[in-house]
Amino acid sequence: MNILVINSGSSSLKFQIVETDQALIDVSQDKVKVKGLIDRIGTQSVAKISVTNGIEIKEAVPIRDHSAALDYIFRKITSGTLNIEGISSIADINAVGHRVVHGGEKFSNSVIVNKSVLKEIEECIDLAPLHNPANLKGIEATLSLFGEKVPHVVVFDTAFHSTIPEVNYLYALPYQYYRRYRIRKYGFHGMSHRYVSYRYRTILNLEREKLNVIVVHLGNGCSACAIKDGKSFDTSMGFTPLAGLVMGTRAGDIDASIMDFLAHKEGVSLSDIDILLNKASGLLGISGLTNDMRELLDEEKEHHDRRATLAINMFTMRIKHYIGAYLTEMGGADAILFTGGIGENSAEIRRRICDNMQFLGLEIDENLNKQKCFGAEGEISTAGSKLKAWVIPTNEELMIARDTFRCVMKVPSP
């Protein structure tokens, strides 16, 4: 089945065409036929398309909206010049899968799009005002292009965390605010946490109920997830993606009273403080240099920059904090799984996170750790470690494609 995967932003549209079959256990058998990105929609856009046969396109092109972006994509990929296997016309697309950030408490699974689903996604806009409207633009554009010729499926980033128990998802606010406004922990990066944990148990041939791991997704956005008995049990992001770990530009956990304090001291609005916490804090705010971990590690090594080192240490210490908390909440775990841009590619950050964890039964194999970068998958702990550590590259697009297949074919998730 050829599935078009859409990840729509306010001024961007990412896509992949994935050939997948839920019966395939080994994810390496799924085929990504083409992928790309249209950026700066509404102005002079930049289009990038990459085919698995090695052909690449990068060009500036005026694109007014998401519908025009899709039209451009399909004109290119069906022109015959890209030689995409099995894709010669729009009729070769069997289904469309959409990433939607927030499903609130309404959605605990992926669902086929209909009018009721679209209305409920709109009702979640208050919970994700930057993301859900953009996601809806992508859905509306593909519905306009395909009509009812193919089924459309929405896959929610928050759905995986719907199994978190009440004791972990509620905040200690007056309970009426949960009843009125559904203020609670929702969690994000759900597709990544779900894919990585699924991949791990597939490799080890574990039943879902036997899976007890901590997944650490580290990129510009970062989150940790405690997965107990195969289900999300707790996660570091909360009502919004701001909470939890130190991130590229997000502060993570802070004392909430700091917002009111800064508003008075700086003479700015709470909205300004919210932007500060999301866009100018984290690694960037502490270092004063960059939100790029690679650049911070270079600054530390080459220039012994004190604030670069401080930012790195705060980043790793917060992760240690959450790992320790989750191990006690879960009563122990079998493995820590690293993923995301930093988690997959920085052996140094993984080493620092796992340093001094011998008392927990975890010891890193330095050679294995250095080898597992840039797409490499596998264990990085020593053979004698009781608590294991693994690197597993994430693949959210494949998760969307497979969920789309399952919804269309009405087969249960493995």
pLDDT digits (tens, 9 = 90+) for 347-403: 999 999 999 999 999 999 999 999 999 999 999 999 999 999 999 999 999 999 999
Position 235 scores a pLDDT of 98
Position 21 scores a pLDDT of 76
Asked whether 269 and 261 are in contact (CB, 8 A), the reply is no
344 is in an annotated binding site: yes
pLDDT above 60 (res 24): no
Q: Which among 44, 49, 158 has a CA at the least distance from the CA of 106?
A: 158
SS3 32: strand
Asked whether 414 and 405 are in contact (CB, 8 A), the reply is no
Q: Phi and psi dihedrals of 23, rounded to 5?
A: -70, -20
The more confident residue out of 149 and 177 is 177
Can you tell me the mean pLDDT for 238-244? 97
User: Is the CATH number of domain 207-391 3.30.420.40?
Assistant: yes
Q: Phi and psi dihedrals of 227, rounded to 5?
A: -110, 110
Where residue 15 falls among pLDDT bands split at 50, 70, 90?
very high
Same fold, 2-156 and 207-391: yes
Considering just the CA atoms, what is the radius of gyration of the chain in Å?
A: 22
396 is in an annotated binding site: yes
Tokens representing 371 are 């080898």
267 is in an annotated binding site: no
Beta pairing, strands 2-8 & 95-100: parallel
Position 412 scores a pLDDT of 79
pTM of the complete model: 0.94
Residue with tokens 């085929």: 31
Position 25 scores a pLDDT of 53
244 is in an annotated binding site: no
Where residue 23 falls among pLDDT bands split at 50, 70, 90?
low
pLDDT above 70 (res 1): yes
The percentage of the chain sitting over the pLDDT mark of 70, rounded to a whole number, equals 98
pLDDT digits (tens, 9 = 90+) for 309-340: 999 999 999 999 999 999 999 999 999 999 99
7 is in an annotated binding site: yes
Residues paired with residue 16 on neighbouring β-strands, in sequence order: 5, 35
Where residue 10 falls among pLDDT bands split at 50, 70, 90?
confident
What kind of fold does domain 2-156 have according to CATH? Nucleotidyltransferase; domain 5 (3.30.420)
Position 26 scores a pLDDT of 56
Where residue 216 falls among pLDDT bands split at 50, 70, 90?
very high
d(CA 279, CA 108): 30
**Options 30, 157, 234, 403, the catalytic residue:** 157
Each domain of the chain, given as residue ranges in start order, spans 2-156, 207-391
Position 27 scores a pLDDT of 56
Q: Which residues contact 80 (CB under 8 A, 6 or more apart)?
A: 88
Position 272 scores a pLDDT of 96
The percentage of the chain sitting over the pLDDT mark of 90, rounded to a whole number, equals 91
**What letters, b where the CB count within 10 A reaches 16 and e where it falls short, cover 119-145?**
eebeebbebbeebbebbbbbbebbbeb
Residue with tokens 């969690």: 187
Decide if 157 is catalytic: yes
pLDDT digits (tens, 9 = 90+) for 356-369: 999 999 999 999 99
Distance between terminal CA atoms of the chain? 18
d(CA 27, CA 25): 6
